[in-house]
Amino acid sequence: MHPLFENWVRLETRRQFFARGMSAVGAAALASLTGTAAPTVGGTKTGFGAALPETHFPAKAKNVIYLHMVGGPAQMDLYDYKPKMQDFYDKDLPDSVRQGQRLTTMTSGQSRFPIAPSKFKFAQHGKNGMWVSELLPHTAKMVDDMTFIRSMHTEAINHEPAITYIQTGNQVTGRPCLGAWVSYGLGSLNQNLPTFVVLVAQPRNTEQVQAISARLWQAGYLSGEHAGVSFRSKGDPILFINNPPGVPAEVRRQTLDGLKKLNEMTFQQVGDPETHTRIQQYEMAFRMQASVPELTDIASEPAATYKLYGDDAKKPGTFANSVLMARRLVQRGVRFVQIYINNWDTHANVAGRLPDQCKDVDQACYGLVQDLKQKGMLDSTLVIWGGEFGRTIYSQGGLSKRTTAATTTRAASRCGWPVAAPGPAPSTARPTTSATTS
């Protein structure tokens, strides 16, 4: 048995065991009926503190970098080439397409829904012949390293429940997010850094940003240690990571030892496992004081790195800087890195804002994938690019040839995103899918 698991069992009270395991018998019975009670193929060993000592099947990816475009990227302007829509310009969206689906308040008062095809040019790229918009010239160069899925579907029509759904599998908050599950299931590869790190990048255009909060990277009903640790984009990456003036490391160590004794006393009285989570987080913070400064010192990166990612990578808080930091994190054993970048909610001025958004992410994403490939890490790192949903093809408000693609609104039934998958490039056969997500 894993030593950390043994320690957990020893610390858990009888009441907590039955509260946490009330559905375990049913799950075990179901597993025996479906033949999944035990792995049938040799797995891969997991990391420190993992729920199981090894995976059920051989694992290819060991790290994840999830790039979330907050607000809903317009798939018809990026990857989902629809030339036929030009013939439907300014015609009403057929009832057979919408099928009575509910609308948001923003468009519920419209008397008609004129179709607004994309104004941007598309071209085929790579051996697989993927269509990519002119807004993503760098991404177009690596389509053979990407997998596209255009079959994703969501019923959420508002951003908050949609983002919650894509992160946790449910529109209602309170469940563990994907990064928390990875932390819980696979454990840590580096005990000096968190298993799950979150970065929030600053877009160059901030006309319409969506609210995001720590609820999106929470651990839900899992232990709090599996929640994402948010690194700040400017200043110290973590508040109070450095000791105050006049407080040497020895004094901080004595302080933590004293806190640990007090927390152990609290645990003996209350029996709350989260008390031990608090102790572990204090210890993690102490170890991070030595590892984080080296991690965030990007001045050591060679000039070739900035040629790949672009000059924005030198500016703290930018998307390019964040993805460079993501590479440095997974290089040091962080399992799951999530980056959020806002302002993709292009209700208006798509023609002006969408190019800005693409400029923020295009070269940076290309640089990340090429960097991982050069360092031999792409085979073991899954890079996901996505949002909470896509956009609709009809116009919100007025429509003219000058404003085509400048007034499309949110989609309620289709999503589409690309992902740089680990391993060799896909088949040279043209894919039947055009977007992907997790």
pLDDT digits (tens, 9 = 90+) for 52-69: 889 888 888 999 999 999
Q: In the block, which residue shows the tokens 């030009």?
A: 86
DSSP-derived secondary structure for 171-213: SSS-S--HHHHHHHHH-BS-TTS-SEEEEEEPPS--SSPPP--
Q: Is the pLDDT of residue 435 over 50?
A: no
Residue 23 has pLDDT above 50, yes or no: no
Phi, psi at residue 210, to the nearest 5°?
-95, 150
> What whole-number distance in Å separates Cα of residue 403 and Cα of residue 358?
19
CA 365, 191, 236: angle at the middle one, nearest 5? 60
Exposure of 185 by Cβ count < 10 A (0-12 exposed, 13-18 middle, 19+ buried)?
middle
Report the alpha-carbon distance of residue 38 to residue 29 in Å, rounded.
Answer: 12
Whether pLDDT at 416 is above 60: no
Query: Would you say residue 198 has pLDDT above 70?
Result: yes
Using CA atoms, how far apart are residues 400 and 403, in angstroms rounded to an integer? 5
pLDDT at 271: 73
Q: Is the pLDDT of residue 34 over 50?
A: no
End-to-end Cα separation, the chain, in angstroms: 32
Average pLDDT for 304-331: 94
342-373: b (≥16 Cβ within 10 Å) or e: bbbbbbbebbebbbbbbbbbbbbbbbbbbbbe
pTM for the model = 0.78
Q: Per residue in 357-370, pLDDT tens?
A: 999 999 999 999 99
Note whether 165 and 156 are within 8 A (CB).
Answer: yes
User: What is the distance between the alpha carbons of residues 385 and 358, in angstroms, rounded to a whole number?
Assistant: 12
Residue 286 one-letter amino acid: F
Tokens 């071209």 belong to which residue?
A: 123
Helix (H/G/I), strand (E/B), else coil: 188: strand
* 160/173 Cα distance (integer angstroms): 9
Helices (H), 3-157: 3-11, 14-20, 24-34, 75-78, 95-98, 105-108
Q: What mean pLDDT is predicted for residues 94-98?
A: 84
pLDDT at 168 over 80: yes
**Dist CA 290 CA 140 (whole Å):** 40
Radius of gyration over every alpha carbon of the chain, rounded to an integer in angstroms:
24
